[in-house]
Structure 1
Amino acid sequence: MGRSPARPTGPRGGGRRGSARMVLVLLALGVVLVTAGAAVAYWRDGRPPVTGDQVADVADALDAAGTPTPSARVSTSPSPSPSSSPSAVAVPATGPGTFVTARADGTTVGTGNRVRRYKVLVEEGIDVRPSAAAAEIADVLADRRGWTRDGATSFRLVGSGSYDFVVKIATPGTVDRICGAAGLRTRGEVNCSVGTDVVVNLKRWVLGSPEFDGPIHEYRALIVNHEVGHRIGHGHETCPGAGRPAPAMMQQIKGLKGCVANAWPYGRDGVYLGGPSVP
């Protein structure tokens, strides 16, 4: 009787199992590489919101969104200072995106022939009364240290009818949506100026900035003066010299460069507190 055929042993049977293991290893390695690639893409294209002094300038705020058009500017303001007094006003992450208009018409302030009519709107559901916000903004624009000191500009708060610009106070999420529609990435942290809208981040309105050493109402004056300055045609400026007031049109969050924090375009003596233009 002949011998039974020998069963395959060693390399052939082990080769099949080895090949299967190799396929599994390659598949696992592929998953790791894809995951790593996704993580890199996330860091490059969808980084988490920046805070504090990372919010440095327009380029940082825009990231991959590109350079803003002249009618769409980011105004950078950071997270609150640890020394800031806690506020009783809550700052929800987002809101409904609908607004209440302050129904308070004001008198014209300033002696300039160019009267700029503006409205104040506050997002629904936040703990800021439209009438109170409008009164505070009107006081800033009426101040003789403000833009009316140029002798050409006047302002008038209106509750209805035609207007030149709108000041909107909104939650960080709503600011992101409004500014994002113009290609600006505010990331829940900063204000922006888009078209006829001055969009104020509630976080900045309530908590201020660590770069501004002063009371919150002064920081709000800086927000208003800076953004309205853009609306009336002013660009960014930088520090004119050590120890001098920082221009209201300076992006003071980038660092004061030796200047002293300041909220106003003009001094009490009527001298313009400007500095060299920033391209």
Structure 2
Amino acid sequence: MTSYPPERPGLRRMRRRRRRAVLLLAMLLAAVGGAAGITRLSEPPRPVRVPLAAEPTLMPDADTAAAASPTGYPTAGPGTFAVADGRSPVRGHAGPLRRYRIEVEHGTGQDADAFAATVDAVLGDPRSWIASGELRVQRVPEAAAADFTVYLATPATSERMCAEGGLHTERYTSCRLPGRVVLNLARWMTAVPDYGAPLDVYRTYVVNHEVGHEFGELHQACPRPGAPAPVMQQQTYGLDGCLPNAWPYVDGARYSGEPTDGV
């Protein structure tokens, strides 16, 4: 058996100091690691970003839509109407009495009574249909008493109303159905490009033209270039060389052109 010399006291002290140093270092590392773990556990959780719900889109009312529209008038409306109050005098001297009612779509910015006054002035003019001596006209407020109604409606509503009778206006023109004269707000406000006459002339024309259909009149053609356009010519689509004319009677006589295939 091999025998070793006895360990010196100084070497034993050195080894004890080294073990204590290693032990202290291990304890220090354990303490630091524990503290770091505690710190991580004690940190508050990061907030989770939750997408905000989109705010509901509110449909503007018709007056707001009119103000926002580049045209200055709404192109669509609620489809409900205000009725003009009161009644006009009977206009005309002979013939059956044709009573009409006036309705203006809500939100158009147009007053029903003011619109009614314009229609009254057109239909009661001696150059209008009463000049035939074969009919009289009067505006009434009651639906039951009216033979027909004149509506002023936004392009979308007028298209829908006209389509009920099979007429498709592309939101551009006015129309007449039995008992219904539907005037397009866009045409009432702006007439048509290159019409060549003031807005009130076009308005007079469109009232007489559509009401003329209600009285049984059919479309007519331009007689010749430079002549007045017959009121039953489709002047909204162009004058074909004729000049703007808003009245069925010119210089006291019925003014007309050749019938066309259109109605």
TM-score normalised by length of structure 1? 0.66
| Matched residue count | 191
**Range with bigger deviation, 93-102 or 254-263:** 254-263
Q: 2:137 & 2:254 partners in 1: Cα distance?
A: 19
Is 1:176–2:159 an aligned residue pair? Answer: yes
- Which residue in the other structure is 2:112 paired with? 130
Name 2:77's counterpart in structure 1: 95
Gaps of 5+ in 2: 1-69
Aligned-residue CA RMSD in angstroms? 1.5
Alpha-carbon distance in structure 2 between the residues aligned to 1:200 and 1:257 = 23
Asked if residue 247 in structure 1 is aligned to residue 230 in structure 2, the reply is yes
Does structure 2 conserve the Cα–Cα contact (< 8 Å) formed by 1:89 and 1:127?
no
SS of corresponding position for 1:118: strand
What's the counterpart of residue 205 of structure 1?
188
Aligned to 2:132: 150
Question: Aligned partner of 1:100: which letter?
Answer: A
Spell out structure 1 runs of 4+ moving beyond 3 A.
none
Tell me if the contact between 1:211 and 1:252 (Cα under 8 Å) persists in the aligned partners: no
CA distance in 1, matches of 2:111, 2:236: 28
CA shift, 1:121, in A, is: 0.2
| Contact 1:90/1:126 (<8 A) preserved | no
1:124-180 Cα distance to aligned partner (Å, 9 max, x none)? 112000000000000000111111111102110111141111000011111111112
Q: 1:249 to 1:243 in 2, by over 3 A?
A: same
Question: How has the CA–CA distance of structure 1 residues 106 and 176 changed in structure 2, closer, same or farther, with 3 Å as cutoff?
Answer: same
Amino acid at match of 1:101: V
The structure-2 alpha-carbon separation of the partners of 1:114 and 1:89, relative to structure 1 and needing over 3 Å to count, comes to farther
**Equivalent residues in 2 for 1:45-194, closer than 5 Å:** 90-160=72-142, 161-194=144-177
Match of 1:276 among 233, 236, 258: 258
| Contact map agreement 2:101 2:148 (CA 8 A) in 1 | yes
Q: Distance in 2 between matches of 1:164 and 1:190?
A: 23
1:169 partner SS: strand
Match of 1:261 in 2: 244
CA deviation profile, 1:13-60 (whole Å, cap 9, x unmatched) = xxxxxxxxxxxxxxxxxxxxxxxxxxxxxxxxxxxxxxxxxxxxxxxx
Alignment partners' CA distance in 2, 1:89 and 1:187: 17
Residue equivalent to 2:10: none
Task: Specify the SS of the correspondent of 1:203.
Answer: helix
Q: Quick check: 1:90–1:127 contact (8 Å CA) kept in 2?
A: no
Q: Following TM superposition, by how much is the alpha carbon of 1:241 offset from its aligned partner in structure 2, in angstroms? A: 2.0
User: Relative CO higher for 1 or 2, CA cutoff 8 Å, sep ≥ 6?
Assistant: 1
Give the TM-score normalised by the residue count of structure 2: 0.70
Between structure 1 and structure 2, the one with the greater Rg is 2
What is the distance in 1 between the residues matched to 2:72 and 2:193?
Answer: 19
Secondary structure of residue in 2 paired with 1:97: coil
Separation (CA, whole Å) in 2 of partners of 1:252 and 1:184: 18
Conserved in 1, the CA contact under 8 Å of 2:75 and 2:186?
no
Q: By how many angstroms is 1:94 displaced?
A: 0.7
| Equivalent residues of 1:89, 1:206 under 8 A apart | no
